[in-house]
Amino acid sequence: MLKQKISIIDLINIEDFSKKEEISKKGIYVKIPIPFKGLSKKELVVTGGIRNILELIDAIGNEFPELKPAILDENQEIKGFIKILVNGKEIQFLNGLNTKLRNGDKVAIAPAIAGG
């Protein structure tokens, strides 16, 4: 199978909302609203045939190497304090890392927030 070229567009500095919307429909929109250690907040669009969450994390991890170990443990499982949502639904209630993605999907990756 021929793998398509992955492209990552950083939207964080684009202030025109309609331009962001236009670009985000061309791929998978990813928002990382809270900074991870060594990685600032990100707002990205990933294009190029990403099929699922694991491929998305791999693609972003190639561009931002500090991100993947912040999300996945050594067994390639999501760390317990990380939440990933696709179109507002937690992937743990979908198909985990194998949750299918398509252009136009919106993904949020953030540390879980606990109250007490």
Q: What is the pLDDT of residues 9-32, one digit of tens each?
A: 666 666 777 777 777 777 888 888
For residue range 49-60, what is the model confidence (pLDDT) as tens digits? 889 999 999 888
Residue 1: count of CB within 10 angstroms of its CB:
4
Residue 2 covered by a domain:
no
Amino acid at the residue 103:
N
Q: pTM of the predicted model, to two decimals? A: 0.80
Is the Cα dihedral 89, 95, 97, 103 positive or negative? negative
Q: Is 33 left (phi over 0), alpha (psi -120 to 50) or beta?
A: alpha
User: Within a domain: residue 82?
Assistant: yes
- Asked if the structure places residue 116 within a domain, the reply is no
Q: Is residue 53 part of a domain?
A: yes
In a domain, 1, yes or no: no
pLDDT top residue among 41 and 58? 58
Q: Supply the CATH number for residue 90's domain.
A: 3.10.20.30
Domain that holds residue 24: 7-111
Is 47 part of any domain? yes
Q: How many domains does the chain have?
A: 1
